[in-house]
Chains A and B, each alone.
Chain A
Amino acid sequence: MISLSINGTNHDVDVEASTPLLYVLRNDLDFKGPRFGCGLAQCGACTVLVDGVATRSCVTPVSAVRGQITTLEGLARNGRLDPLQQAWIDEQVPQCGYCQNGQILTARALLNANPNPTDSEIRAGMEGVLCRCMSYYRIQAAIKRAAGQSTAAFYNASPAAAKSGVTT
């Protein structure tokens, strides 16, 4: 049995230790936020936060996870959307929306580490998250819209997260 803490709830799963976290989240626990895009840590579609750090669940063995997992569906708090999610709606960011899980969670990690990023810090921080609908312009607008609003980090970022904001 492997224990996972996801969006504040504990889950026990009985799977091979090497199973990528992505498949446990999607197939055993029915989370729909993290999605398969490449399985190669190249696109970001499968992103979850682990202690506030953007983590690619497609290449993370379930047994290697140490810390609190947050998925897209766990980002809202007390019935209120994360300011980034609200900004995503206000800016009407998605086209198909398939990549947006990774965009939103990576942006969350970025803002946790750097609440008021410059344009070039946004570009650099988001560089590894791909969108094949090319909604980048609206994504960047939404991050700028939300940036001022996140006075306190929404999640408790780990020291590592505070340094880089993003891991891949």
Chain B
Amino acid sequence: MTRHRPGLTLPSEIAEAVHSINPSTSRRGFLKASGALFISAYLGVNPTGRALAQAASGSAGPYPIPDYRQLDTWIVIHPDNTATFHVGKTDGGQGTGTAYRQMMCDELDIAYDRAVLIMGNTDITPDQGGSGGSDGIEVDGWPMRRTAAEARRVLLELASDSLDTPVAELTVNNGTVSVVSNSSRSVTYAELIGGRRFDVTLTGDNINQTRGLADVKPVQDLRVIGQSLPRYDIPAKVDGSLTWAVDVKLPGMVHARNVRPPVAGATLASVDEASVSGLPGFVAVVRRRNYLAVVFEREEQAINGARALRAEWTPPAEAAFPRSADLFDFMRVQTPTSSSRTVITGDPDAAFAVAARVLEADYEVPFQGHTAIGPAHALADPSNGLMTIYSNDMKIYGLRLGVARFLAMPEDRVRAIYMDGPQVYGRTAADDVGFEAAFLAKELGRPVRVQWSRDEETAWDTKGPAYTFRMRGALDATGRPVAIEYEARSLDYNHVGYNEPDTVLIAQLMGLRPAQPAQGGAALPSSQYGIEHQRMVGHVVSLPMIWETPLRCGNLRDPNGPQVTYAFEAFIDEMATAANADPVEFRLSMIEDSTEDALFRKARSLATVRAAAESYGWDNRPSPNPLMAAASSPIVNGRGIAYTFRSGTVVAIIADVEVNRETGRIFVRRLVCAHDCGLVINPMGMKYTVECGMLHGLSRALWEEVRFDNEKVTSVDWASHPTLRHSDTPESIEVIIVNGDPNPDRPDMPHYGAGEACHKPMIAAVANAFHDATGVRLRRVPFRPESVLEALRQQIS
């Protein structure tokens, strides 16, 4: 029989970071007490502590901002001839950590299993902005490659001295430099610099430009990049040994729960502390204006305390927002608060006036949430007048800076440490909760862990913005598309800030707010179609309540892409049907007509659409499928394509759906995705992330919608806010890696992003496949059975 006590539990790399960076907060015995898991067990090496100690030496303050212009900030070589890489990113589970390590190992010429990678510790790793925009590989991978290449160059020069041989006559293999003509003459990286500093200053006006004198390797020389190595983080996620941000415990730690306004915009009139102060474990009720939290010794006590607390709230005089059922009508009649530049090509009015056929359609996408599987959480430690926040926030550097400003602490007194957590896919309550934990920790002078509840997360987390669209298209007498008009309406991004402490929920509830919302939203389509006459514009409108509202927009996986691409690609499909054209051929001929070819996207788009069609086994015919129209069975089948690009990545998805016309259920049997993201760092990791990104898009297509009445969100848990489930999983998913570059072997092949591009056309692919099966257009997301039945009924009537 054993009796456990809560102890300090941190992964070794983070625990050692705590020691080595700041001896004043060092807690000896920390690791022993923890019985913690050693991530290094999976890596074969554990050089991390030394690496961090070295990285920290010479630091100016308690938690200095790492200098990206110092090579030592990025790379440490240890006496055992292993390396540690420091990068300013986070990995939400897409395997980017493994990919970064592959890139840096390749350029440094060290075996993959002789290196570890540390991400998102704000006082150790350089500020690469955390994660977002699927740009980790596309943008941030370059300074990683260049700094590793520079380290290799410096090591070769040291070896040249040591071996008294010109660099040109040396070769490197897994961290050992040897003379080409006499391999017995060799020296290891460790012998050259192990445990010591490079002291090499890099150049570059910003972190993305960071470089030394060395160039990266040509593609032909890469060996680790391109390998489907298994992700290093998976074993510990499967055997239960990983310490997540939710697992960190500190001595004296207490548990807090927020108490939210019962309706949006309510004012807290009074709090009856006596209603909970007698409960076991009571620590405090903390109130600032409309921010309210309870703090207890134990977690379940805090949950009960938050329920038991009696508080008087005064509802606002005006309705906070229209009901979700009325949202689109509301958005269509508002005067925009801002508009994009109207992009006009040719003379669309003249083209519409003489067109043989004009089509019009409206599309609608509701608010959709991030709704992480694990609600927002953070732990803040205020020991020694400093502040350490343990968090899974992917904008971990923004969290540090924002909290420092929010609490009026010097920035070098605050640090944020990224640890694994439930997926966030954008700007979420993971931002908010770090501020809350830090605020409460400072107030109470004790480590405070804040955990949001399920309904709090689903209701109050940031949302992807709702959209309405009006599309018009014109065909000439031969069925050729001659003009297209796109007009979108969306909502402002009032909670999208990065460093600004007044954009988070706690600040808003305390009465702090920016002068105006971020405009964001109302994006234009990523079109590669050579339609001669075009007009495109996006407008932003506001809801009545902008601040302190649960309907606050924050980036959600490709923030506007799924909405915009749904309207655009579904309408292109409508035009193809009107032209009696095959949907693949119709798209290919419009891409052929394009005069735009940035990043060789024209050739790559043609290759990608063709690869999808070929892998699927697409037979040429217009939609809808005439066989289905005649079918008597309730089950009909259809196929649909959607194509788009995101930054440099081009993607085409074909969905094969089965529709039950009696129940309204859509089942996607098969997905084929052709994906050109240039040089692929880890094909297996990329494919699996694309699978999941597509299914996330499918969840948004079939199920997800934030619902609300005039004063509060009413979709608050997994019953009222359904999501994709096992039974919705396609029977087959194929991801085809395409290299459509006109010069596919070029040595400087860029690596573009993945994860969001494949998410973007998914809703359109499903809608187009549904039409192929039924002859009916679905013009409002999501396609739940009741809306599908309604759409089918309208066709009959």
- Using a CB–CB cutoff of 8 Å, the interface residues on chain A facing chain B are 9-12, 15-16, 19-20, 23, 26-33, 35-40, 42-43, 45, 71-76, 81, 85, 88-89, 92-101, 104, 119, 122-124, 126-127, 129-140
Contact = CB atoms under 8 A, between A and B. Distances in A.
A36 B55 CA distance: 35
Given A32-B244, A97-B237, A123-B726, A23 B300 contact: yes
Main secondary structure of the interface of A (DSSP, over half): loop
Contacts of B214: none
Interface in B228-287: 230-231, 233-235, 237-244, 246-247, 249, 280
A89 B238 contact: yes
A138 B718 contact: no
17 contacts: A11-B3, A28-B6, A32-B243, A37-B374, A37-B375, A37-B422, A42-B717, A89-B235, A95-B92, A95-B688, A95-B689, A98-B372, A123-B726, A130-B723, A134-B692, A134-B724, A136-B695
B423 A92 contact: no
B348 interface: no
B373 A130 contact: yes
Most chain B beta carbons < 10 A, residue from A11, A20, A98, A123: A98
Contact of A132 (B35, B238, B243, B373): B373
Contacts of A92: 95, 230-231, 234, 684-685, 688
Most chain A beta carbons < 10 A, residue from B688, B692, B726: B726
A54 B420 CA distance: 25
Given A42-B717, A98-B373, A123-B727, A33 B240 contact: yes
A39 B698 CA distance: 26
Contacts of A140: 726, 729
A103 to B, nearest CB: 9
A39 B726 contact: no
B182 interface: no
A130 B727 CA distance: 11
B176 interface: no
Given A11-B2, A29-B4, A137 B453 contact: no
B60 interface: no
Given A136-B726, A137-B730, A96 B6 contact: no
B300 A30 contact: no
A39 B454 contact: yes
A-B pairs, 3 with minimum CB distance: A96-B93, A97-B237, A134-B695
Contacts of B728: 136
A119 to B, nearest CB: 8
Given A92-B230, A97-B234, A134-B692, A19 B374 contact: no
A13 to B, nearest CB: 8
A15 B235 CA distance: 33
B374 A45 contact: yes
B723 A30 contact: no
Nearest to B373: A132
Nearest to B688: A92
Contacts of A10: 1-2
A87 to B, nearest CB: 9
Given A92-B685, A136-B695, 18 more contacts: A11-B4, A23-B298, A27-B249, A27-B299, A30-B35, A39-B303, A40-B718, A42-B454, A45-B373, A89-B235, A93-B234, A94-B237, A122-B726, A124-B727, A133-B93, A133-B373, A134-B698, A134-B724
B688 A138 contact: yes
B49 to A, nearest CB: 22
B295 to A, nearest CB: 15
B168 interface: no
Nearest to A102: B373
Nearest to A124: B727
A36 B692 contact: no
Contact of B246 (A12, A35, A89, A135): A35
Nearest to A27: B299
A39 B451 CA distance: 12
Contacts of A93: 234, 238
Contacts of A132: 371-373, 422-423, 696, 723
A39 B2 contact: no
Nearest to B691: A137
B300 A19 contact: yes
Contacts of A75: 239-240
A37 B1 contact: no
Contacts, number: 194
Contacts of B731: 119
Nearest to B253: A27
A131 B3 contact: no
A27 B379 CA distance: 14
B580 to A, nearest CB: 36
A40 B140 CA distance: 40
Given A35-B246, A37-B374, A126-B726, A133 B692 contact: yes
B421 interface: yes
Contacts of A71: 240
B699 interface: yes
Nearest to B449: A27
B725 interface: yes
A36 B92 contact: no
B733 interface: yes
Contacts of A89: 230, 234-235, 238
B688 A39 contact: no
B4 A30 contact: yes
Nearest to A126: B726
A27 B248 CA distance: 10
B94 interface: yes
A75 B453 CA distance: 28
B7 interface: yes
Contacts of B235: 89
A127 B727 contact: yes
B237 A100 contact: yes
Nearest to A39: B454
B619 to A, nearest CB: 26
A11 B422 contact: no
Contacts of A36: 246, 374-375, 451
B9 interface: yes
B41 interface: no
Given A73-B240, A100-B238, A135-B692, A16 B726 contact: no
Given A27-B6, A81-B239, A137 B695 contact: yes
Contact of B719 (A32, A33, A42, A94): A42
Contact of B300 (A16, A31, A100, A126): A16
B422 A96 contact: yes
Nearest to A31: B240
A96 B482 CA distance: 45
A28 B7 CA distance: 9
B215 to A, nearest CB: 33
Contacts of A27: 6, 249, 298-299
B696 A133 contact: yes
A10 B2 CA distance: 7
